[in-house]
């Protein structure tokens, strides 16, 4: 091999190596950019999802606007109404219980008659919520609790009536009062509701609505609704 041929070969090898190296570096850069772009896209998607979750956190149900409007008109807390709907039906408007209670708030046909509403409309969410609101207000006015009654006690006793019947709760309050205890304390009322399963108690002249064996269910109902209400209050207060 001549000297010129040797020099030419060396130069050619150097050029090929340099070009190959540049192309390889460019591919690495493009691959890194693509991965970076993919990561940024994924992060953006995750952030968007997180943002959506934050927004959705404050949505209690698809009935929020209706709950707020009707509750305001009826003078009630919409978050309590929503807590009742969650526990009664999980926000399903066409649920019907074995006892014939219907809809979001599990309102019975008897309530329809009380407020002169055709029971055929009971599954309509607006009608159902409004009837529940009117029933809660009627319970409150019928109980005539002292204005000094703590709000948690007031709500708990009203919820007990909504679930177990105002008659049984009124019996328990009468029993409490006759024994020198506070008829506006939910703790006291719950204790006397339990006693209404005892013949020695439910056969008393003070008891007008007879035996009651559902105290555990009613206490659990009050506890769960109040717990959910507390969650909804905390959620909405952070908006």
Active site residues: 88
Can you read off the two tokens belonging to residue 68? 């707020």
Tokens of 173: 């309050």
> 117 with 131: CB under 8 angstroms?
yes
Positive/negative CA dihedral, 179, 183, 185, 188: positive
Which residue's structure tokens are 């659990």? 220
Map residue 197 onto helix, strand or coil: coil
Q: For helices 78-89 and 151-164, give the axis angle rounded to 10 degrees.
A: 30
d(CA 8, CA 63): 83
**Structure tokens that stand for 160 in this block:** 């007990």
Class of residue 173 by CB neighbours under 10 A (exposed 0-12, middle 13-18, buried 19+): buried
Please check whether residue 71 is in contact with residue 132, taking contact to mean a CB–CB distance below 8 angstroms: no
Q: What are phi and psi of 102, to 5 degrees?
A: -125, 145
């Amino acid at each position: 091999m001549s000297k010129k041929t040797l020099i030419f070969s060396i130069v050619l090898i150097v050029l090929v190596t340099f070009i190959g190296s540049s192309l390889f570096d460019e591919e690495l850069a493009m691959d890194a950019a693509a991965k970076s772009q993919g990561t940024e896209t994924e992060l953006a998607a995750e952030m968007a999802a997180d943002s959506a979750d934050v927004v959705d956190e404050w949505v209690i149900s698809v009935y929020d606007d209706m709950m707020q409007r009707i509750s305001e008109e009826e003078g009630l807390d919409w978050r309590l109404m929503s807590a009742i709907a969650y526990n009664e039906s999980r926000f399903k408007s066409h649920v019907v219980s074995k006892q014939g209670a219907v809809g979001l708030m599990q309102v019975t046909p008897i309530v329809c008659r009380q407020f002169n509403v055709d029971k055929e409309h009971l599954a309509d969410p607006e009608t159902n919520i409004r009837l529940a609101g009117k029933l809660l207000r009627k319970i409150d006015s019928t109980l005539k609790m002292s204005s000094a009654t703590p709000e948690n006690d007031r709500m708990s006793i009203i919820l007990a009536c909504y679930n177990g019947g105002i008659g049984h709760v009124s019996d328990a309050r009468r029993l409490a009062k006759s024994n020198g205890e506070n008829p506006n304390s939910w703790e006291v009322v719950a204790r006397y509701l339990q006693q209404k399963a005892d013949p020695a108690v439910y056969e008393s002249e003070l008891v007008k609505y007879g035996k009651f064996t559902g105290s555990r269910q009613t206490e659990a109902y009050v506890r769960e609704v109040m717990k959910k209400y507390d969650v909804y209050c905390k959620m909405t207060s952070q908006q």
